[in-house]
Amino acid sequence: MSHLVGTLVTVAYRPLLYVTADATAARAARLNIPLYKRLMVVLTAPVVGSAMQIMGVILVAAIVVVPVAAATLVTRSFKQSILLAILAAEFVTLAGVTVADIYGIAAGGLIMLAAIGVYAIVLVTTKLTAVSLIQRLLTRSRQPITQSDRQLKADGGDKK
């Protein structure tokens, strides 16, 4: 099922992106908006339906949201967000099911714990990276003026 959904999303990627991001522009580009909205529902339904058998309704809503939230923290484009969210969702699902099998406990909760763990790691990493970058920029701007800096004159740079 996931291969079918992945293939359809790959084939119809640009129109789906256009319709979801800006329906007015998609209408101006003469895309069949109702068709692509139906396709989105048809693609989402089996994924959610099969996931509900494993995790339940509330966890499905969370597993759809948390990997996307983690992906948007580190990506700059819609395409990168989709790809990274898919990889993150697959990773946390496999991790949760594997740990559940090893310890003989429910998989749904472990999948969500793994998803939240990935989100927390990504969030902390991006915040630490941002703080480190800001500190480096501030440190560079506070460097002392050297003797050669003081000797510079605004004479146009021509030495005769």
In a 13 Å sphere around the CA of 67, the CA atoms on its Cβ side amount to 22
For residue 92, the model assigns a pLDDT of 93
Does 61 lie in the same domain as 130?
A: yes
| CB atoms closer than 10 angstroms to residue 31 | 17
Tens-digit pLDDT string for the chain (160 aa):
778 888 888 898 899 888 888 889 889 999 999 999 898 888 888 877 777 776 677 777 778 889 999 999 999 888 899 899 999 999 999 999 999 999 999 888 898 899 999 999 999 998 888 877 777 777 765 555 566 555 555 555 555 5
Indicate whether 62 and 110 sit together in one domain: yes
The verdict on residue 152 lying in a domain is no
For 137-158, letters b (16+ CB in 10 Å) and e give eeeeeeeeeeeeeeeeeeeeee
Contact of 42 with 63, CB cutoff 8 Å: no
Asked whether residue 148 is assigned to any structural domain, the reply reads no
Return the exposure string of 52-67: e unless at least 16 CB atoms fall within 10 Å of the residue's CB, then b. eebbeeebbebbeebb
The model's pTM is 0.59
| Angstrom distance (rounded) from CA 91 to CA 40 | 23
Q: Are 67 and 132 found together in one domain?
A: yes
In a domain, 76, yes or no: yes
Does 72 lie in the same domain as 44? no
Same domain, 78 and 62: yes
Domain boundary among 33, 54, 75: 54
The pLDDT value given to residue 139: 73
Domain that holds residue 12: 1-54
Q: Are residues 72 and 99 in the same domain?
A: yes
Amino acid identity, position 40: M
Do 62 and 92 fall within a single domain? Answer: yes
Q: What local confidence, expressed as pLDDT, does residue 102 receive?
A: 95
Would 17 be classed as within a structural domain? yes
